[in-house]
């Protein structure tokens, strides 16, 4: 796995960037992000978290054993590949839920901004290889 991606431990341990009761302008925040990949926890909510991802590449195959994961595209186009299933392509203001335990990866088609909802400290397991459906 490329070093630009966090380890499973780093992903799970990340703390929220913003505190409760703080107004957050996601549009302004994401506009300042450059590079091919950034994924960060913005806020924690009732044992879950809201993540912001800005990416322009493919993320490695992985799964979250204890958490569903909802991907909502805010800007751009995202392909979500789930092992054994057809890939789902999302455009702005579309989302898909990847169930807990499903091996998956995401691929941005150009610069893409997503909001992701999952459990706080979702256990992440990276896998070497998986096959998406036809």
Residue 2: predicted pLDDT: 41
Among candidates 64, 38, 46, 49, which has minimal Cα distance to 16? 49
Domains observed in the chain? 8-126 (2.60.120.10)
Task: For 35-63, give the DSSP string.
Answer: SSEEEEEEEEETTEEEEEEEESSBPPPEE
Place of tokens 């909001």: 115
**In this predicted structure, what is the pLDDT of residue 31?**
92
pLDDT digit string (tens) for 58-85? Answer: 999 999 999 999 999 999 999 999 999 9
Quickly state the pLDDT bin for 45 (edges 50, 70, 90). very high
State the pLDDT at residue 128: 85
Average pLDDT of the chain, as a whole number:
91
> Is pLDDT of 1 > 60?
no
pLDDT, average across residues 43-61: 94
Whole-prediction pTM value?
0.88
The string of pLDDT tens digits covering residues 92-128 is 999 999 999 999 999 999 999 999 999 999 999 999 8
Sheet containing strand 69-75, edge to edge, reads 37-45, 48-55, 112-119, 69-75, 95-98
Is 11 within 8 Å of 124 (Cβ atoms)? yes
| Cβ-contact 19, 86 below 8 angstroms | no
CA-based nearest residue to 97, from 79, 77, 70: 70
Q: What is the mean pLDDT of residues 81-91?
A: 96
């Amino acid at each position: 796995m490329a070093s630009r991606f966090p380890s499973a431990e780093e992903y799970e341990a990340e703390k929220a960037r913003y505190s409760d009761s703080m107004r957050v302008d996601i549009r302004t925040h994401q506009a300042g992000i450059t590079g091919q990949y950034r994924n960060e926890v913005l806020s924690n909510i009732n044992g879950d978290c809201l993540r912001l991802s800005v990416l322009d590449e493919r993320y490695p195959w992985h799964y979250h054993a204890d958490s569903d994961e909802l991907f909502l595209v805010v800007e751009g186009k995202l392909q979500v590949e789930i092992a054994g299933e057809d890939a789902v392509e999302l455009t702005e203001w579309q989302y898909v839920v990847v169930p807990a335990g499903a091996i998956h990866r995401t691929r941005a088609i150009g610069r893409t901004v997503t909001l992701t909802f999952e459990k706080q400290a979702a256990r992440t397991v990276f896998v070497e290889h998986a096959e998406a459906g036809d």
